[in-house]
């Protein structure tokens, strides 16, 4: 019998619609102003931290809508942004440096939904809000690093060519004062350095026949700055990508700044921590001969330096760096299968692997220390606890360097390209360390000079406008379909409603980010979604005009319009894929919603409407169709 729907098609549609409604449901609950509390440097928080946070909020009489603790930290929900800001200020001053706090927007969906995997879709910075960072690149540090490298190269070149020198030191003006032991060799040294390093500027001091001044040229300094800015931008982009943020913006602003926008981000505390950290590793051999004496006296002999483990124990390491984190090509966090403790598996580049093999082979039975270094910038505070300001009234920033030994194991055998780092306190810290090493080292430290949370006020206005456009488009299409196609228009309207639900549910399941261009894609999809139904319904009318029965006209209308619908949608889908492949930011957001809308509209317009039409007209004797 014509126009009968198989039972499995009913089951398929009911299953898809049920899942669609379930995954779209969390988006109805909106979001709450919140504060994210995490342990500093990725350290996990136990129940005592939750009790401490609750005690602080109670003592300050700050009302909390909800408090949740999970593996990412403590999430505090508040009723309004004013309470959110007050809570962050009070917690920030009371908790100290052991905790990391950040403003965020938290989903208001109930636990029974989120625990089942139903999460709201992310909204972009222009809709939901998010976090905007402006980072300042420390160009002075980048230049200084290059000068130190040039200093080592000058020493090696002079030494290899048997030109004796007293010292090569960097002065306050950024020049390298190279003192030649034999004044007669100064000209030879100058000619040699000019040949080996043609871009350097060399000047003889007329008052001192032994002194040769070496400095970077203006062109070199400019190249160093440009290179540092680009390397930092790429490294920050890699870090953001591995944080899982959808459609982030990482771009240059001016000569020494980078803008990072994280739309719809949930864990802004971790994002802030990862972006601001300039961390790396260095490998040093332990000075076994003088270690005990240096620990007793607190004095390091020439060529060595005292470091500390995290627990405060001191250890004497040789100053010479065997290799650093810049030579690491891959890093992965995992758990040691024997001890269960966190580790980071390291893979070195080929050249460094040879150095590692030679050094460890020559020092079996001795210890090789892994030194963790991190640059931290903060406001300067005077002895009275007041903020120190410069002549322009801005806070004075001071940069401190954290240096601690993660581990110093005994070299049991010759190492090669791969090895493991132990002595890491938590899985989160191991994951963060691996992320930063894998993403690439920053060419120079960065300082977050502006952190702006785009609140729900601006976002809500955009959401309201976007929602109005979707509703307006939906209502106009609805009126058109009902007027022109009557009962068939009702079926198309139901399918169109389900199409919107499925688009939202797919975006939620993919945890994609919806932006204003994405809303435009949905509005376009609303108009395009009925194209298939218009083709089908017009085909049915044509079959009726050709003298076919109503049942035959319905059957032929769907069958003969199918190839045209598929061809039209595939060509549009190809265009959307091209936009996604070659576009960036907003263009990708538009392409994503358009692609999803095309696929869901084909499902609803063809399968769902036919099922509804078959349920209404199938198996019945009909003299005239309401179309």
Q: Residue 258 carries which DSSP code?
A: E
* Strand pairing class (122-123; 513-514): parallel
- DSSP letter string over 505-526? HHHHHTTPEE-HHHHHHHHHHH
Residue 459 binned pLDDT confidence (cut-offs 50, 70, 90) = low
- Give me the pLDDT at residue 3, please: 74
Give the range with max mean pLDDT: 130-134, 247-251, 277-281, 480-484.
Answer: 480-484
**Span 226-255, mean pLDDT?**
74
User: What are the sequence ranges of the domains in the chain?
Assistant: 7-25+456-617, 32-108, 140-220, 277-453
Find the mean pLDDT for residues 202-219.
81
Q: What is the pLDDT of residue 16?
A: 92
Half-sphere exposure of 79 (CA within 13 A, CB side): 4
Average pLDDT, the chain: 80
Joined together, the tokens standing for residue 47 give 């129940």
Q: What residues contact residue 126 under an 8 Å CB cut-off, 6+ apart? A: 263, 458, 459, 462, 515, 516
pLDDT at 385: 66
* Partner residues linked to 33 by β-bridges: 105
Paired strand residues for 421:
344
Do the Cβ atoms of 554 and 613 come closer than 8 Å? yes
The C-alpha atoms of residue 412 and residue 178 are separated, in whole angstroms, by 42
pLDDT in tens, 474-517: 788 788 888 888 888 888 888 888 988 999 999 888 877 777 78
Taking only the tens place, the pLDDT of each residue in 135-171 is 888 888 788 878 877 887 888 788 888 888 888 888 8
Q: Which has more pLDDT, 540 or 585?
A: 540
DSSP run (H or E) holding 299: none
DSSP sequence for 44-62: ---HHHHHHHHHHHHHTT-
Write down the pLDDT at residue 505: 92
* Per-residue model confidence (pLDDT) at position 457: 53
Residue 50 near residue 69, CB atoms below 8 Å: yes
Whether 537 shows a pLDDT value over 70: the answer reads yes
In CATH, the architecture of 32-108 is: 2-Layer Sandwich (3.30)
% pLDDT > 90, the chain: 4
| pLDDT higher than 60, residue 332 | yes
Burial-class residue 183 by CB neighbours within 10 Å (0-12, 13-18, 19+): exposed
The C-alpha atoms of residue 187 and residue 196 are separated, in whole angstroms, by 14
Q: Which helix (H) or strand (E) holds 270?
A: helix 268-276
418, 346 Cβ separation under 8 angstroms: yes
Q: What is the pLDDT of residue 566?
A: 86
Same topology between domain 7-25+456-617 and domain 140-220: no
Dihedrals φ, ψ of 365, to 5°?
95, -15
> pTM (2 decimals)?
0.56
- Whole-number pLDDT of residue 44: 67
Q: In this structure, what are the phi and psi dihedrals at residue 338, rounded to the nearest 5 degrees?
A: -95, -45
Q: Work out the pLDDT band at 406, boundaries 50, 70, 90.
A: confident
* Higher-scoring residue by pLDDT: 397, 131: 131
CATH: 3.40.50.1820, 3.40.50.1000, 3.30.1360.200, 2.60.120.1440. Which one for 277-453? Answer: 3.30.1360.200
Q: Is the pLDDT of residue 460 over 90?
A: no
pLDDT of 245 higher than 60: no
The answer to whether the CB of 366 falls within 8 A of the CB of 286 is: yes
pLDDT tens digits along 27-62: 888 778 888 787 765 556 777 888 888 899 999 889
434: pLDDT strictly greater than 70: yes
CATH of 140-220, one of 1.10.600, 3.40.1350, 3.30.1360, 2.60.120: 3.30.1360
Lowest mean pLDDT among 72-76, 120-124, 429-433: 429-433
Shortest CA distance to 267 belongs to which of 57, 56, 49, 70? 70
d(CA 262, CA 162): 55
CB 178 within 8 A of CB 189: yes
- d(CA 483, CA 490) in angstroms, rounded, equals 10
Q: What local confidence, expressed as pLDDT, does residue 438 receive?
A: 65
Phi-psi region of 549 (alpha: psi -120 to 50; beta: other; left: phi over 0): beta
pLDDT surpasses 60 at 455: no
Averaged pLDDT for residues 300-327: 85
**pLDDT score, position 269:** 65
Q: Is 132 exposed, middle or buried (0-12, 13-18, 19+ CB in 10 A)?
A: middle
Where is pLDDT greater, at 610 or 47? 610
- Out of 210-219, 220-229, 243-252, least confident range: 243-252
Q: Taking 80 as the threshold, does the pLDDT of residue 624 lie above it?
A: no
Strands (E), 326-417: 328-335, 342-348, 368-379, 397-407
Q: Give me 380's structure tokens.
A: 């300067």
Cβ contacts of residue 565 below 8 Å, gap of 6+? Answer: 531, 532, 535, 536, 602, 605, 606
Q: With 90 as the cut, is the pLDDT of residue 250 above it?
A: no
pLDDT band at 196 (very low <50, low <70, confident <90, very high): confident
Rounded distance between C-alpha atoms, residue 584 and residue 591, angstroms: 10
pLDDT of 343: 83
Q: For residues 198 and 399, which has the higher predicted lDDT (pLDDT)?
A: 198
Neighbours of 298 (CB within 10 A): 8
Specify the higher pLDDT residue, 422 or 300.
Answer: 300
pLDDT at res. 399 = 66
Written out in words, the top-level CATH class of the domain with range 7-25+456-617 is mainly alpha
Name the token pair of 392: 């322009």
pLDDT digits 0-9 by tens, 353-405 = 888 888 888 888 888 888 877 666 566 777 776 777 777 776 776 666 778 88
pLDDT at 22 over 90: yes
CA–CA dist 37, 97 (Å, integer): 12
Pairing of strands 278-285, 368-379: antiparallel
Joined together, the tokens standing for residue 485 give: 């196609």
Distances (CA, A) of 595 to 24, 506, 608: 18, 11, 19
Q: Sign of the CA dihedral 13, 15, 16, 20? A: positive
Q: Rounded to the nearest 10 degrees, how much is the dihedral formed by the CA atoms of 613, 614, 615, 616?
A: 50
């Amino acid at each position: 019998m014509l126009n009968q729907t198989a039972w499995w098609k009913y089951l398929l549609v009911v299953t898809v619609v049920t899942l669609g409604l379930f995954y779209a449901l969390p988006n109805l609950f909106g979001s709450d102003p919140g504060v994210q509390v995490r342990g500093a440097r990725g350290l996990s928080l136990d129940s005592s931290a939750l009790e401490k946070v609750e005690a602080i909020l109670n003592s300050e009489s700050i009302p909390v809508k909800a408090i949740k603790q999970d593996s990412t930290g403590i999430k505090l929900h508040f009723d309004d942004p004013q309470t959110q800001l007050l809570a962050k200020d009070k917690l920030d001053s009371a908790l100290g440096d052991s905790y990391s706090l950040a403003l965020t927007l938290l989903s208001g969906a109930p636990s029974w939904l989120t625990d089942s995997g139903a999460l709201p879709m992310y909204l972009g910075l222009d809709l939901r809000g998010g976090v905007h960072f402006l980072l300042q690149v420390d160009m002075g540090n980048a230049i200084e690093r290059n000068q130190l490298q040039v200093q080592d190269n000058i020493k090696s070149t002079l030494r290899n060519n048997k030109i004796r020198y007293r010292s090569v030191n960097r002065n306050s003006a950024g020049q390298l004062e190279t003192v030649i032991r034999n004044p007669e060799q100064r000209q030879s040294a100058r000619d040699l350095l000019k040949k080996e390093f043609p871009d350097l500027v060399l000047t003889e001091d007329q008052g001192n026949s032994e002194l040769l001044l070496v400095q970077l040229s203006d062109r070199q300094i400019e190249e160093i700055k440009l290179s540092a800015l680009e390397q930092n931008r790429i490294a920050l982009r890699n870090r953001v990508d591995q944080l899982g943020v959808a459609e982030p913006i990482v771009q240059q602003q001016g000569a020494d700044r980078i803008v990072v926008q994280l739309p719809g981000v949930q864990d802004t505390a971790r994002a802030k921590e990862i972006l601001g950290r300039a961390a790396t590793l260095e490998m040093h051999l332990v000075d076994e001969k003088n270690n005990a004496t240096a620990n007793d006296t607190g004095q390091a002999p020439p060529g060595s330096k005292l470091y500390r483990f995290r627990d405060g124990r001191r250890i004497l390491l040789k100053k010479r760096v065997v290799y650093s984190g810049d030579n690491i090509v891959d890093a992965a966090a995992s758990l040691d299968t024997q001890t269960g403790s966190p580790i980071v598996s390291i893979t070195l580049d080929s050249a460094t692997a040879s150095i590692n093999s030679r050094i460890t082979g020559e020092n079996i039975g001795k210890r090789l220390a892994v030194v963790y270094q991190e640059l931290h910038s903060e406001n300067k505070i005077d002895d009275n606890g007041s903020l120190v300001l410069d002549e322009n009234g801005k806070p004075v920033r001071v940069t401190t360097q954290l240096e601690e030994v993660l581990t110093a194991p005994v070299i049991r055998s010759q190492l090669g390209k791969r090895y493991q780092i132990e002595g890491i306190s938590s899985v989160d810290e191991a994951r963060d360390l691996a992320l930063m090493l894998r993403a690439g080292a920053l060419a120079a430290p960065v300082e977050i000079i502006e952190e702006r949370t785009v609140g729900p006020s601006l976002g809500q206005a955009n959401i309201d406008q976007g929602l109005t456009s979707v509703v307006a488009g939906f209502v106009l299409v609805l009126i058109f379909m009902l007027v022109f196609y009557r009962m068939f228009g009702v079926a198309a309207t139901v399918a169109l409603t389900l199409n919107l639900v499925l688009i939202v549910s797919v975006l939620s399941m993919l945890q994609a980010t919806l932006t204003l261009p994405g809303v435009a894609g949905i509005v376009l999809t609303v108009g395009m979604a009925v194209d298939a139904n218009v083709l089908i319904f017009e085909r049915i009318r044509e079959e009726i005009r050709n003298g076919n029965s109503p049942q035959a006209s319905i059957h032929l209308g769907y069958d003969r319009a199918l190839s045209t619908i598929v061809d039209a949608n595939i060509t549009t889908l190809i265009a959307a894929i091209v936009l996604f492949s070659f576009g960036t930011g907003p263009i990708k957001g538009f392409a994503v919603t358009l692609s999803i809308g095309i696929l869901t509209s084909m499902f609803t317009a063809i399968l769902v409407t036919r099922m509804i039409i078959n349920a209404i007209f199938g198996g019945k004797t009909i003299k005239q169709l309401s179309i």
